[in-house]
């Protein structure tokens, strides 16, 4: 089983990095898995330019680092994506990555319309991790919707999320009473 872990914060070793590490640790303790980590902050990627190339060809015309991520997103049986809250959404870096998955969405539609097989339902699962500084009741509404539709676009079943409020300083999650343990547990359950 291939697990792809996507780190969406520009802050190295920040809260969502630590949450993702714990999630991955839980997964590795549970099953024999192949692991690929994608640190979006290390990729040189541009935003989708809506050129329409993928509508016709099912691939993205932009030849940047996103090209190395596409095969992993297509092959993975498990994908976890993490992002901090930025202005009630995901980080700009993570949003660029998500927008560029449009090429895989268009390929899915193209495969369907041309009668080619797409991943069987339930075969691929996705999970979302998020951290934000404030307490707002609706703090995670927008990023959770984005994560849901990201997974839907790439033909992955959304299985859930772990979102933690009141985490601001780098490493604040280390002082949270249960967050990292919850991430570990969910990571294990995710590959079971």
Ligand X SMILES: Cc1cc2nc3c(=O)[nH]c(=O)nc-3n(C[C@H](O)[C@H](O)[C@H](O)COP(=O)(O)O)c2cc1C
Sign of the torsion formed by the C-alpha atoms of 64, 68, 72 and 75: positive
Q: In this chain, which residue has its C-beta nearest to ligand X?
A: 14
Contacts with ligand X: how many residues (CB under 6 A)?
19
How near is the Cβ of 90 to ligand X at its closest, in Å?
Answer: 10
How many Cβ atoms are within 10 Å of 9's Cβ, its own excluded?
25
Of 3, 6, 16, 183, which lies in the binding site for ligand X, with binding defined by CB under 6 A? Answer: 16
What are the backbone dihedrals phi and psi of residue 123, each rounded to the nearest 5 degrees, phi first? -75, -30
Query: Which residues within the stretch 38-77 sit at the binding site for ligand X (CB under 6 A)?
Result: none
How near is the Cβ of 139 to ligand X at its closest, in Å?
Answer: 6
Could you list the beta-strand ranges (E) of 60-107.
78-86, 89-90
How near is the Cβ of 7 to ligand X at its closest, in Å?
Answer: 8
Per CB under 6 A, 143 contacts ligand X: no
| Closer residue to ligand X in complex, CB, 124/184 | 184
CA distance 159 to 9: 21
Nearest in space to 76 (alpha carbons), one of 159, 24, 2: 2
Query: Which residues within the stretch 109-138 sit at the binding site for ligand X (CB under 6 A)?
Result: 131-134
């Amino acid at each position: 089983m291939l697990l792809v872990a996507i780190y969406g914060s520009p802050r190295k070793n920040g809260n969502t990095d630590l949450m993702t590490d714990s999630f991955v640790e839980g997964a590795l303790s549970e099953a024999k898995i192949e692991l690929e980590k994608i640190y979006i902050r290390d990729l040189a990627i541009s935003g989708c330019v809506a050129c329409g190339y993928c509508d016709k060809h099912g691939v993205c015309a932009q030849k940047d680092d996103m090209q190395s991520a596409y095969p992993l997103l297509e092959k993975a049986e498990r994908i976890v994506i993490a992002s901090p809250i930025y202005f009630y959404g995901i980080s700009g870096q993570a949003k660029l990555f998500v927008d560029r998955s449009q090429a895989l969405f268009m390929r899915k539609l193209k495969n369907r319309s041309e009668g080619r097989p797409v991943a069987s339902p339930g075969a691929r699962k996705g999970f979302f991790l998020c951290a934000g500084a404030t307490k707002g009741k609706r703090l995670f509404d927008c990023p959770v919707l984005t994560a849901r539709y990201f997974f839907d676009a790439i033909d992955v079943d959304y299985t859930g999320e772990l979102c933690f409020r009141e985490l601001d300083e780098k490493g604040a999650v280390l002082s949270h009473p249960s967050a990292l343990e919850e991430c570990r547990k969910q990571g294990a359950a995710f590959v079971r």
